[in-house]
Structure 1
Amino acid sequence: MSTNSRWWFADLVLVVGLASFSGSIALTGLDGPLRVAFVLPLVLFLPGYAFISAIFPEAGNDDTRKFGSDKSEAIYAVGGPERVGLSVTVSVAIVPLVAAIANFTPWGIRVLPIVIGVLGFTVLSALGAFVRRWRVPANQRYSIGLPKLLFNSVGRHSNGSTTMVNIGIVISLLLVTSSVGFAVLSQPTGQQFTEFYVEGQNINSNTNTFYQSNLGDNGITVNVGNREGEQTQYTVIAVLERVENGSVTEQNRFDQQQVTVQSRQTKQVTLNGNPSLSGDNVRVRLLLYKGDPSGSPYRVIRLWLSS
């Protein structure tokens, strides 16, 4: 690692830039391996690296900060492999902590407050690291350098066994990252679903009724929330039915619309048309299909019409 580099703060600028980019990706509708690849650094490395950089601003060549009889051991400095390992460890601890704090806020455990919290922690830690390095003499500042970042422990002479240990650390970190990525990509199928519901001042949730006078004027608005893990096309159909003695005696399709919803997003669909059926014992049946309307509907909502 070069301790006289004029660009001793370059890694901190890079950390803030990558964290901001990863955070913006986490808030978009991007899915699949690309999302995992872009967001994982913010979860597994960047906040911890910024924090460790603030704790250890020196390159470890200050002879006044030693302990024991062996002057090659530094107490306040860590080398490249140690920084990488500590960065991952701290990051894995920071993200759940931010999520726990978010749980006690009005926003709850959602992507937005967690991303803002982790990003804020990373930026503040990077600023603290910048100030602490700036106050350290130029010949003692830590500045990143490859390949010494991964294969040079501070205060130790390089030898074959040390190199093998460092390589083992790097491989272990790669395995941890790969495991987390696999877990994110391999979500259980039971967690994939679509929200389909009606809400508004025209709905009486106690009796599950919809005021008939508003059906022709404003239509009926349904919410389609995609939690399927990928972009999905839906078909929404509204059907008016007259029910007598438990059987449908008359039926009329009210409206039909198609809508494409990105993953983790919710869209509203307003169904309008001529309510040809009126009177008592009339209900509106809302059908949701994935793709074209064929076979059994994916979700069904039944609302009785009230005059």
Structure 2
Amino acid sequence: MEFKKHWDLITVIVLSIIVDVLILQNTRGIIQEIAGLTFVLFLPGYVLIAVLFPEKRELSNLERIALSFGLSIAVVPLIGLGLNFTPWGVKLKPLLVSLTAFNTVFAILAVYQRSRAVEPWTPFTVKEVTEKLGMEKPTTLDKTLSVILIISIILSLGILTYVASHPKPGEKLTEFYILGPEGKASNYPTNLRVGQKGIVVIGIVNHEGRNVTYYVQIWLVNLTWDDRTNTPVVYEMYPMPGWFNVTLPPVPVNIEGNWTPEFKKNYTFSIDKPGKWQIWFLLFKDRPPELPQAPANGNYAETGPKNLILDAMNGRIQSLKLNVEVKEPVRG
């Protein structure tokens, strides 16, 4: 095999391996960003074009470059779609291995196709580009379209490089969850007797990008839904014991590794009145809302805090709800 004749295809394989190593080692920098973009947005289409059109007469250099970008944009999502139906899923390592395998296999096929071609296409030189741009009796439209295509490709590479090297901050969020007493999303204490203890696990994970002090309020609520006005009607609302606050440092969102909790707290409660109740866990960041003086009967249903439950139902407050049916104790 002549190296000069296939140096571009050999470079594709080598560059694919180098990009894999750089990404897996979490190496960052403008050179690495450009190499990664080339790996995803150019190389898959380039080797595919080399297989499909090995003859020099079939496509011009500019057409090959343009189609390489276009086919790469089409091929990479298809590879991701295929991975979605495998046990590995669409994750970084499987995607890198798949793209590298694709580039390698099609580069080898392209070498075979090029060796069988009558007049094989070989990587362009400055002289060839000049000849292509200076076609026989070129029209003004041909020259204009060629220049526009080159400028578009350069601008696209520049924009993609800038976006990759200046990524936007990740989405800021807080994970707030409750689990059953075994630490799983099952066996919640939803059926109790009066005075019987129930246990849930309250969890918080900080992805806000800064230290956050969280305040958790827990309310026992009895409400129904008014179909006429399409609004909830709160009859009873009592603060439950066990309100707490905790300050947590930020942790990054890790979609590759196993999920791990940041803060967990067992919460034990009991309800001393029968009926169908809702326990609302309300989460506040940095500072909790001010509450009015407690009513004489302890029922906040006709006071301002009722709006906290309404806001939680409308998604304006991060919250969790546990429905609990409480029955009379068994009489001996």
Q: How far apart, in 1, do the equivalents of 2:324 and 2:248 lie?
A: 21
Segment of structure 1 superposing worse, 45-54 or 162-171: 162-171
Q: CA 1:183/1:113 → structure 2, altered by over 3 Å: closer, same or farther?
A: same
Could you report, residue by residue, the CA deviation over 1:242-279 in whole angstroms, capped at 9, with x for unpaired residues? 74841215444264432321576765213358x6x754
Q: How many aligned residue pairs are there?
A: 272
Deviation, structure 1 residue 7: 3.2
Gaps in structure 2 of 5+ consecutive residues: 191-195, 222-235, 273-277, 290-315, 326-332
SS at match of 1:8: helix
Q: How far apart, in 2, do the equivalents of 1:238 and 1:88 lie?
A: 51
2:175 corresponds, among 172, 175, 196, to: 196
Gaps in structure 1 of 5+ consecutive residues: 61-73
1:147 corresponds, among 112, 126, 130, to: 126
Is 1:167 equivalent to 2:144 in the alignment?
A: no
Structural mapping, 1:85-164, within 5 Å: 85-105=66-86, 114-134=95-115, 142-148=121-127, 150-153=129-132
Q: CA 1:33/1:10 → structure 2, altered by over 3 Å: closer, same or farther?
A: closer
Is 1:235 equivalent to 2:183 in the alignment?
A: no
Deviation, structure 1 residue 47: 0.5
Q: Is the 8 A contact 1:196 1:299 kept in 2?
A: no
**Aligned partner letter, 1:52:** I
Other-structure match for 1:270: 263
Q: How large is the RMSD of aligned CA atoms in angstroms?
A: 5.4
Deviation, structure 1 residue 49: 0.5
**Aligned partner letter, 1:11:** D
SS at match of 1:259: coil
Q: How far apart, in 2, do the equivalents of 1:12 and 1:115 lie?
A: 18
Is 1:259 equivalent to 2:250 in the alignment?
A: yes
Q: Is the 8 A contact 2:197 2:270 kept in 1?
A: no
TM-score (norm: length of structure 2): 0.56
Q: How far apart, in 2, do the equivalents of 1:126 and 1:82 lie?
A: 19
- Please say which structure displays the higher CA radius of gyration: 2
Deviation, structure 1 residue 123: 2.2
Deviation, structure 1 residue 124: 1.5
Q: How far apart, in 1, do the equivalents of 2:167 and 2:96 lie?
A: 20
SS at match of 2:5: coil
Q: CA 1:208/1:223 → structure 2, altered by over 3 Å: closer, same or farther?
A: farther
Q: How far apart, in 1, do the equivalents of 2:18 and 2:249 lie?
A: 34
**Aligned partner letter, 1:127:** I
SS at match of 2:4: coil
Other-structure match for 1:83: 64
Could you report, residue by residue, the CA deviation over 1:28-76 in whole angstroms, capped at 9, with x for unpaired residues? 9899999975543234311010111223445x3xxxxxxxxxxxxx3xx
Q: How far apart, in 2, do the equivalents of 1:118 and 1:221 lie?
A: 38
**Aligned partner letter, 1:268:** P
**Aligned partner letter, 2:210:** Q
Aligned residues with identical type, % of pairs: 20
**Aligned partner letter, 1:132:** Q
Q: CA 1:167/1:242 → structure 2, altered by over 3 Å: closer, same or farther?
A: closer
TM-score (norm: length of structure 1): 0.59
SS at match of 1:247: strand
Q: How far apart, in 2, do the equivalents of 1:30 and 1:304 lie?
A: 49
Deviation, structure 1 residue 83: 1.6
Q: Is the 8 A contact 1:261 1:267 kept in 2?
A: no
**Aligned partner letter, 1:233:** R
Q: How far apart, in 2, do the equivalents of 1:250 and 1:214 lie?
A: 13
Q: How far apart, in 1, do the equivalents of 2:92 and 2:188 lie?
A: 35
Other-structure match for 1:7: 4
Q: How far apart, in 1, do the equivalents of 2:197 and 2:27 lie?
A: 41
Q: CA 1:195/1:124 → structure 2, altered by over 3 Å: closer, same or farther?
A: farther
Q: CA 1:214/1:269 → structure 2, altered by over 3 Å: closer, same or farther?
A: farther
Q: CA 1:242/1:83 → structure 2, altered by over 3 Å: closer, same or farther?
A: closer
Deviation, structure 1 residue 183: 8.8
